Amino acid sequence: MGLEGHRIDVVGLTKTFGTTKALDDLTFSVTPGTVTGFLGPNGAGKTTTLRCLLGLVAPDSGTATVDGRAYRDLDDPIRTVGAALEASDFHPGRTARDHLLVMALGAGLDTGRVDAMLAQVGLTDSARRRVGGFSLGMRQRLALAAALLGDPRVLILDEPANGLDPAGIAWLRGFLRALAAEGRTVLVSSHVLSEVQQTVDEVVVISRGRLVRQGRLEDLDTGPSAVLVRTPTPDLLRQALAGAAVEALPGGALRVSDRSTAEVGHAAFASGVELHELTPEPDDLERLFLDMTGEGAAP
């Protein structure tokens, strides 16, 4: 059975710090039951947006609401929105378990969930260790457990994959997907698309405080795919691909930007050209992300 879902709506959000326009008329929404990646390069305004959503920063104009209400107007904010903004602000002398107990008591939450949450994030064996000795990945897990203490419908996580090793990222992926499958609304920021690419259904891409793109990950138009080819006879392959956009790469490979792997393979076969490699160019999505956010522009 799914939970009652809550939308996140950011409308016309604008915030200036001194002379820095951190957010510039930013609008997007996040639907329940999805994991949404909130993406943008460092300094794009992600943290500021999340802080506005949590009532920690007052915007100059615009609104950031959960279930149609500002955080401060929610009836039961702790049980509605769980957030992990920074993984580093734990008291280093306190154990993981004590940290969650203090939080639960302070917020009037059921302390009975503490051990269950530690187990959920894989910290049972470290529950009685002091947080000061935790790795960044363990702090991230603890922050996640803290965010989940109130069994919230909405989760807001700032760079949760930061500091996790590949196994930890794979774990996080399954964990967040399961929370979304329960009908929760999960918003996860990252400045690295590949980190969350396999986790998210939707992406909201921002750059310089403005929305660049919102949509389903699979609908992002990655443009024509390019093909990397290696052959001992590049000139013959160029002839065989007459009319194609072919670029010589350092190291001797050719990059064909307007033909599919099948088309390149067929042209080579039909002309008797020997191929040593024929691969679709990797990271099309990463390239698109860099292009969209202006980070990939040629110097």
Ligand X SMILES: Nc1ncnc2c1ncn2[C@@H]1O[C@H](COP(=O)(O)OP(=O)(O)OP(=O)(O)O)[C@@H](O)[C@H]1O
Chain residues binding ligand X by CB under 6 A are: 17, 20, 22, 40, 42-48, 191
Distance between first and last Cα of the chain: 52
Phi, psi values for residue 190, rounded to 5°? -165, 150
- Residue closer to ligand X, measured from CB, 30 or 109: 30
- Residue closer to ligand X, measured from CB, 13 or 186: 13
* Closest C-alpha to 176, from 192, 165, 194, 160: 160
- Residue closer to ligand X, measured from CB, 32 or 40: 40
The CB-of-28 to ligand X minimum distance in angstroms stands at: 14
The CB-of-47 to ligand X minimum distance in angstroms stands at: 3
The CB-of-54 to ligand X minimum distance in angstroms stands at: 13
* Contact criterion met (CB below 8 Å) for 173 and 179: no
The CB-of-143 to ligand X minimum distance in angstroms stands at: 15
How far apart are alpha carbons 55 and 75 in whole angstroms?
Answer: 14
The CB-of-9 to ligand X minimum distance in angstroms stands at: 19
The CB-of-152 to ligand X minimum distance in angstroms stands at: 21
- Residue closer to ligand X, measured from CB, 123 or 203: 203
Q: In which element (H, E) is residue 210 found?
A: strand 210-216
3-state secondary structure labels for all residues of 116-151: HHHHHCCCHHHCCCEHHHCCHHHHHHHHHHHHHCCC
- Residue closer to ligand X, measured from CB, 17 or 269: 17
Burial class (CB within 10 angstroms; exposed 0-12, middle 13-18, buried 19+) of 219:
exposed
- Residue closer to ligand X, measured from CB, 192 or 278: 192
* Contact criterion met (CB below 8 Å) for 139 and 163: yes
Tokens of 77: 């904010």
